Amino acid sequence: MISTDGPETVPRARPAATRSRYRPRRIRLRDGREVTLREIRETDESEILEAFERLSDESRYSRFMQHKKRIDPAALERGLHPRAGLDFVLVATTPAQDGIDIVGAAQYLPSQSTDARACEFAVTVAEDWRRTGLATALISRLVRRARRDGYQAIEGRVLASNLPMIALARDMRFDVEPATGETGTLLVRRALMAGAAPARRRYA
């Protein structure tokens, strides 16, 4: 559910930020179900692993852009310990017989592009919690948090075949264009502050 790809990102030189706690929020989705949105906790490890196991092969490929059978332990460890002012991981939980289930997650971390002012985001929603507005709720709160952390833009990479995610990005005022040097992949990007970045050409 959380990012598991690529090398560990080196923190960029940006103004120091003091992490303020994210107050958990209970929200009602379009289908009437409710979830709690909160920061990830170190104790969420087993639930993250279970959530990953519940994803279909197709969902894993859409999320990680490769066939992935398991979560990389080092990446999981990084995801469970976000760095204040640089990373943020938000999870959506619902009550379960064993305590909770994590049914959605979203995160950002410093972008691996040349833009030191940008962060890169990713979002995952469990199979039976899609088309409920959960992805929108996760991303909208991620955008606000990234702005608070001092980022000037938020961006992500999406498979060109992932039409629901592309439509959602456009609905949320992200610009969409082909990702440089990545066949079949689109870059979605949104400025977070005035003067942060010019609007990019929209990809039709």
23 vs 37: CA distance, rounded Å: 9
User: What range does the domain containing 128 cover?
Assistant: 25-151
Task: Read off the pLDDT band of 203 (50, 70, 90).
Answer: very low
Identity of the amino acid at 204: A
pLDDT of residue 114: 67
Q: Tokens 């960029």 sit at which residue? A: 12
Reported residue count of the chain is: 204
pLDDT at residue 88 greater than cutoff 50: yes
pLDDT of residue 103: 97
Please tell me the total count of domains within the chain: 1
* 195 belongs to a structural domain: no
| Sheet containing 25-28: order of strands | 25-28, 34-39, 88-96, 99-110, 118-125, 153-159, 185-191, 175-178
Task: Read off the pLDDT band of 45 (50, 70, 90).
Answer: very high
**Under a CB-based contact definition with an 8 Å cutoff, are residues 119 and 148 in contact?**
no
pLDDT of residue 65: 54
Task: Read off the pLDDT band of 75 (50, 70, 90).
Answer: confident
pLDDT at residue 194 greater than cutoff 70: no
Identity of the amino acid at 139: I
pLDDT at residue 56 greater than cutoff 80: no
What is the pLDDT of the chain when averaged over all its residues? Answer: 84
pLDDT of residue 197: 43
CB atoms within 10 A of CB 10: 9
144 vs 112: CA distance, rounded Å: 20
* 166 belongs to a structural domain: no
* 179 belongs to a structural domain: no
* 12 belongs to a structural domain: no
Task: Read off the pLDDT band of 13 (50, 70, 90).
Answer: very low
* 120 belongs to a structural domain: yes
* 46 belongs to a structural domain: yes
The more confidently predicted of residues 125 and 19 is: 125
Look up residue 46 and give its two tokens: 């087993």
Q: What is the pLDDT of residues 140-176, one digit of tens each?
A: 999 999 999 999 999 999 999 999 999 999 999 999 9
pLDDT at residue 135 greater than cutoff 70: yes
**Under a CB-based contact definition with an 8 Å cutoff, are residues 79 and 40 in contact?**
yes
* 97 belongs to a structural domain: yes
* 132 belongs to a structural domain: yes
Strand partners of residue 27: 35
Determine whether 160 is exposed, middle or buried from the number of CB atoms within 10 Å of its CB (0-12, 13-18, 19+): middle
Q: Tokens 């087993």 sit at which residue? A: 46
The more confidently predicted of residues 8 and 160 is: 160
Q: What is the pLDDT of residues 29-44, one digit of tens each?
A: 999 999 999 999 999 9
Identity of the amino acid at 181: G
pLDDT at residue 83 greater than cutoff 80: yes
CA angle (81 as vertex; 169, 116 as ends), nearest 5: 50
CA torsion sign for 180, 172, 79, 125 is negative
Look up residue 12 and give its two tokens: 């960029």
User: What is the pLDDT averaged over residues 49-53?
Assistant: 90
Q: What is the pLDDT of residues 104-124, one digit of tens each?
A: 999 999 998 767 799 999 999
For residue 3, give the nearest of 64, 84, 46, 86 by alpha carbon. Answer: 64
CATH label of the domain that carries residue 69: 3.40.630.30
